[in-house]
Structure 1
Amino acid sequence: MKYDLKDTTFVFVVRIDSIIRLENLLLALELLESNFDTHILVVEASYYNNGILKRLLSNKVSYSFIEDKDPIFHRTKHLNAILKQLNTAIIGVWEADIIMESTQIMDAVYQLRVENCDFAFPYDGRCFDTSEILRRHYLLYKNIGFLKNNIYKMDLLYSSSSKGNAVGGAFLISVEKYKYSGLENECFYGWGAEDGERYYRWLILNYRMYRSQGVLFHLSHPRDQNGMIRSDYHETKIMHEYFKIRNSTKEELINKLHK
Structure 2
Amino acid sequence: MKYDLKNTTFIVPIRIESDDRLRNVITTCCFLLENFDTKVIIKEVDKESVFQKEALPQISEYVEDAISNLTHIFEESDPVDDTFYRMRYINEMLTMCETEVVVNYDCDVLLPLQTYLQAQKLIIEDEADVIYPYGQGMWQKKIYATDQMVSEFLSNDCDFKYLEPNHQMDNAESGHVQFFRKSTWIEGGMENENFKSYSPEDKERLFSFVTLGYRVVRIEGFVYHLEHKRGQNSWITNPHMQDNNALWQFLQSLNKDELKQYYKEQKYLKKYQ
Q: 1:242 to 1:227 in 2, by over 3 A?
A: same
Q: 2:41–2:93: 8 Å Cα contact kept in structure 1?
A: no
Which residue, 114, 119, 125 being the options, matches 1:108?
119
User: Structure 1 regions of 5+ residues with no counterpart?
Assistant: 160-164
- SS of match in other structure, 1:176: helix
Alpha-carbon distance in 1 for matches of 2:237, 2:194: 15
How many pairs are equivalent?
Answer: 247
Instruction: Give the whole-Å Cα distance in 2 for the aligned partners of 1:105 and 1:94.
Output: 12
Identify the residue that residue 142 of structure 2 maps to in structure 1. 129
Verify: 1:221 aligned to 2:228, yes or no: yes
Structure number having the greater helix percentage = 2
How far did residue 137 of structure 1 move?
4.8
Distance 1:179 1:120 in 2: 15
Match of 1:145 among 136, 142, 161: 161
Would you say the 8 A contact 1:72–1:226 is kept in 2? yes
Partner of 1:48: 48
Distance (Å, rounded) in 1 between the aligned partners of 2:188 and 2:56? 32
Indicate the residue corresponding to 1:191 in structure 2: 198
The structural deviation recorded for 1:57 is 4.0
Instruction: Show the counterpart of 2:179.
Output: 172
1:224-258: CA deviations, max 9, x gaps? 11121126x63321111112222211111211222
Distance 1:36 1:213 in 2: 21
1:56: how far off?
Answer: 4.0
Q: Which residue identity is paired with 1:95?
A: D
8 Å CA contact 1:75, 1:190 repeated in 2: yes
User: Is this contact kept in 2: 1:108–1:210, CA < 8 A?
Assistant: no
* CA drift at 1:213: 2.8
Question: Structure 1 residues 252, 98: CA separation in 2 closer, same or farther (over 3 Å shift)?
Answer: same
Question: Aligned runs of 1:151-166 on 2, under 5 Å?
Answer: 153-156=167-170, 159=171, 165-166=172-173
Q: Deviations over 1:166-222 (max 9, x none)?
A: 111111000000001111111111112111111101011111122223201111111
Are residues 122 and 116 of structure 1, via their aligned partners in 2, closer, same or farther at CA, if it must alter by over 3 Å?
same
Q: Which moved more, 1:65-74 or 1:34-43?
A: 65-74
* Pairwise CA distance, 1:122: 1.8
* Contact 2:150 2:163 (C-alpha < 8 Å) held by counterparts: no
Q: Deviations over 1:44-85 (max 9, x none)?
A: 111133531444443231111111123221111111122122
Query: SS at 1:154's partner residue?
Result: strand
Which amino acid is the alignment partner of residue 65 of structure 1? F
**For 2:261, which of 237, 255, 259 is the aligned residue?**
255
Give the whole-Å Cα distance in 1 for the aligned partners of 2:10 and 2:253.
31
CA contact (8 A) 2:87 2:196 kept: yes
Equivalent position of 1:162 in the other structure = none
Matched, 1:65 2:74: yes
Aligned to 2:38: 38
Backbone CA RMSD of aligned residues:
1.9
In the other structure, the counterpart of 2:97 is 86
Tell me the distance in 1 between the aligned counterparts of 2:149 and 2:135.
21
Does the aligned pair in 2 maintain the 1:8–1:38 contact within 8 Å? yes
Gaps of 5+ in 2: 61-66, 154-158, 266-273
Give the equivalent residue in structure 1 for 2:244. 238
Q: Is the CA contact 1:104–1:122 (under 8 Å) kept in the aligned structure 2? A: yes
TM-score (norm 2): 0.84
Contact 2:9–2:103 (Cα < 8 Å) also in 1 = yes
Change (3 A) 1:65 1:54: farther
